[in-house]
A and B are shown apart, each in its own frame.
Chain A
Amino acid sequence: MKSDASLPVEGTGRQFALAQLRRGQVATVSGLVESAAIDSGRDASQSLVTRLRDLGFVPGARCEVVARMWLGGDPIAVRIGGSTFALRRAEAAAVRVEISASHARDAVAHAGSSAVPA
């Protein structure tokens, strides 16, 4: 999503790529970034970053990494909006997430609330 490319990445201590999350960690999507790794050679109508947005990776959505494969988590399984998606590391790298202190492990049960930000 183009407009999100310019998203301020201040407070980098709390801003991560989704691919960096550990298993069981809950976070809030803060935006999507353009990714040459997955979108090079595609015209905008087939953009995979756009597809991520269509799958529910929109700012404010809460997500949880439910599984990571070995060797650096490629692919990972992410629970978002009550659905689970398998994403490769390169795909998950296009999703920026924010971990707020309030998101403890027990927040998992509400990870489904996803696409409806409070």
Chain B
Amino acid sequence: MDATVTPLRIALVGVPNCGKTALFNRLTGSRQKVANYPGVTVERREGERATPDGRGMRVLDLPGTYSLNPTTLDEAITRDVLLGRLADTPSPELVVCVVDAVHLPIGLRLALEVKRLGLPMVLALNRMDVARRRRVHIDVAKLSAELGVPVVPTIAVKRGGADALVEIVEGGRWVAPRAFAAALQEHGAEDAEQMQRDLRGLLGASGYSPPRENPWFGRIDALLLHPVAGLAILLAVLFVMFQAVFSWAEAPMNWIEVAMNSLGAFTAAHLPAGPLASLLVNGVIGGAGSVLVFLPQIVILFFFILALEDSGYLPRAAYLLDRLMGSVGLSGRAFIPLLSSHACAIPGIMATRTIPNWRDRLTTIMIAPLMTCSARLPVYGLLIAALIPARAIGPFNLQGLVLFTLYAAGIVSALLVAFVMKQFARDRQYSPLMLELPDFQWPNASNLLLGLWERVKIFLSRVGGIILALMVVLWFLSSYPEPPPGASGPPIQYSLAGRLGAMLEYVFAPIGFNWQIAIALVPGLAAREVAVAALGTVYAMSAAGDDLSAALEPVIASSWSLATGASLLAWYVFAPQCLSTLAVVKRETNSWKYPLIMAGYLFALAYLASFITFRVVRAWA
């Protein structure tokens, strides 16, 4: 790239579900998730493309919006980029307005609005293949003439489907439409009516005929949106999803565990004993490696989430649950962020950007950590296996029932917290649903695989990056200072982390935690699942860090009371032990106030729940 010539800045604008993201992938070659949920493009996506003249182009994929009058954060970003209001992003030199040919009126209306900004513009008439199949008629030449900007048919999902668009952009065959000085000042009623008249004129002039209705869509919706059958289907879908996360993941998780154990044993055997071996075995393999075990569960969970998203089902689930969630002050739109929070609260919290109302968004962010994230599974799994007998109760397994209860406890307490927050809300501004339920489609296999691969990459880079680094630091804190000569207890007791644990024991004794648990909670601050590895380290500092979970289970079964175990389970339903979540909350709310409130209320609830659980179980058992 020539340093003196900057690439052409292009922005893609369009309504949600118009295939804008697919077109972006087609143009830049970079891959990104394509989904049906309106507003899925919550992250800024930019890609580059080489051009024959050597200048190149830089394509920005703006969040989907129905209008330049924003009602969500996403939509506000789109407007601000187009107006050049965002500090880091100069306004684009060319706007490619992507319009779904199947749903021409709604997209064309936005195109009219964008055109009024006076930026150079090209209209990409996308999904032309589907439009033809559904007998939509559009006279492209007339539309282009009437609109006064180039109009190019595209098929973003087909190879070469954007060639015509590329040709026009590279050829520079676009000019700025007449600029409106007063564009985007609040558009008044006459203005809006003028726009509707223009739209009608355009549709008439281009001989637009609407698509044929697919009778199957109506029938499927009648079932999926039915008040009783629809809810039953939703429950069944969620049940299958959670079952699959546990049962399908079991085998691959065992493989990874075995591989990690052999790696630890191999390292321990081939390195001279000393701090380096301890760091690698206990810190790197035992710490970061213990997180790697959850990769299969995360892949399975995201497989379901991506497939449901791609098919268009998730917004329908939001429709079904809107009333229920509304009664505790949440919007139906909160369903999708909360569902993702079952994998991890971080993507869930980032997904709240599609919620229009600030109060709703904040409530959803605040309760997202109460959803049982996959990092809590190992803690639950360990404790349940150690303390709950595998007894059959009717057709159910007692262990399975306890696990289900813990998930349900998270959801129920989230609804209660939302309800309490609703009572404190000062601004009672109405928060809309107004959610598009997109046409059904079969999930695209290659999109699904690419989406999963993206998730795997993110997860692995996290494990290999920040988690690894934190584990090294925590290993240091729990290894130094070294015990004095002749010390009898485990070395960790004399370390910084150990002393902190001993101090914390005073705090945690009333809820039945011993000093080992108190120590484990400290490194558990970085990521919840690390507490399992930390417990293993405490109980078996001499036995090398491998095989932690397996060795730990009988130790816990014999040395802990049921009350202590139950208390720790109750603690983990609430405990805000995830610094990354708090950091994301800080970033998303742009203030320290909310992460502090979140940590405070979660700790208070965790302590209260554990206290009650401990006392009740001890009195009964």
Contacts and interface: CB of A to CB of B under 8 A. Distances in A.
Contact of A108 (B196, B204, B218, B221): B218
Nearest to A3: B189
Contacts of B401: none
A117 B200 contact: yes
A102 interface: no
Contact of A116 (B109, B188, B200, B435): B200
Interface string B418-450: 000000000111101111111100000000000
Given A66-B218, A66-B221, A86-B319, A56 B106 contact: yes
A90 B434 CA distance: 11
B71 A48 contact: yes
Contacts of A91: 432-434
Nearest to B315: A86
Given A67-B222, A88-B433, A82 B210 contact: yes
Nearest to B210: A112
A100 B225 CA distance: 27
Given A54-B109, A55-B106, A116 B211 contact: no
B109 A86 contact: no
A67 B210 CA distance: 22
Nearest to A46: B71
B352 interface: no
Nearest to B76: A46
Interface residues of B, number: 55
Contact of B192 (A1, A84, A111): A1
B320 interface: yes
A47 to B, nearest CB: 7
A90 to B, nearest CB: 7
A66 B222 contact: yes
Interface string B264-288: 0000000000000000000000000
Given A42-B429, A56-B106, A51 B186 contact: no
B2 interface: no
Given A88-B432, A109-B213, A116-B203, A47 B69 contact: yes
A1 to B, nearest CB: 6
A115 B109 CA distance: 11
A51 B213 contact: no
Given A45-B69, A77-B221, A39 B430 contact: yes
B586 interface: no
Nearest to B432: A48
Contacts of A77: 221, 225, 319, 437
A83 interface: yes
Nearest to B430: A38
B230 to A, nearest CB: 8
Contacts of B188: 2, 44
B430 A74 contact: no
B206 to A, nearest CB: 11
A50 B218 contact: no
A33 to B, nearest CB: 13
B97 interface: no
B346 interface: no
Contacts of B196: 53, 58
Contact of A69 (B208, B227, B435, B438): B227
Interface string B185-229: 010111011001001100110001011110100100110011100
B13 to A, nearest CB: 14
A17 interface: no
B66 interface: yes
Size bracket of the A interface: 35 or more
A112 B435 CA distance: 18
B232 to A, nearest CB: 13
B106 A85 contact: no
Contacts of A117: 200
Contact of B69 (A50, A86, A112): A50
Interface in A80-115: 81-88, 90-91, 108-115
B563 interface: no
Contacts of B67: 50-51, 54
Interface string B87-130: 00000000000000011011001100000000000000000000
B434 A44 contact: no
Contacts of B430: 37-41, 48, 90
B360 to A, nearest CB: 13
A108 B199 CA distance: 24
A71 B71 CA distance: 28
Contact of A51 (B318, B320, B332, B432): B432
Most central of A47, A52, A66, A110 by chain B CB within 10 Å = A66
B320 A69 contact: yes
B433 A87 contact: yes
A55 B71 CA distance: 13
A3 B200 contact: no
B315 A115 contact: no
Most central of B193, B222, B432 by chain A CB within 10 Å = B432
A40 B199 CA distance: 29
Interface string B216-256: 00100110011100100000000000000000000000000
Contact of B323 (A41, A71, A79, A85): A71
Contacts of A86: 315, 318-319, 322, 332, 433-437
B192 A115 contact: no
A89 B391 CA distance: 48
Given A51-B69, A70-B227, A75-B323, A82 B102 contact: yes
Contact of A66 (B193, B203, B225): B225
A90 B200 CA distance: 28
Interface string B304-339: 000000000001001110110010000010000000
B329 to A, nearest CB: 14
A71 B323 CA distance: 9
Contact of A54 (B69, B103, B318, B332): B69
A88 to B, nearest CB: 5
15 contacts: A3-B193, A41-B427, A48-B430, A53-B196, A67-B222, A85-B437, A86-B434, A87-B433, A108-B218, A109-B213, A110-B213, A113-B210, A114-B210, A115-B106, A115-B200
Interface of B: 66-67, 69-71, 102-103, 105-106, 109-110, 186, 188-190, 192-193, 196, 199-200, 203-204, 208, 210-213, 215, 218, 221-222, 225-227, 230, 315, 318-320, 322-323, 326, 332, 427-430, 432-439
Given A52-B434, A83-B438, A86-B318, 10 more contacts: A48-B71, A67-B319, A75-B322, A82-B211, A84-B436, A86-B315, A87-B433, A91-B433, A113-B210, A116-B105
State the 6 A-B residue pairs at the shortest beta-carbon distance, nearest first. A67-B225, A115-B105, A54-B67, A2-B189, A84-B437, A86-B319
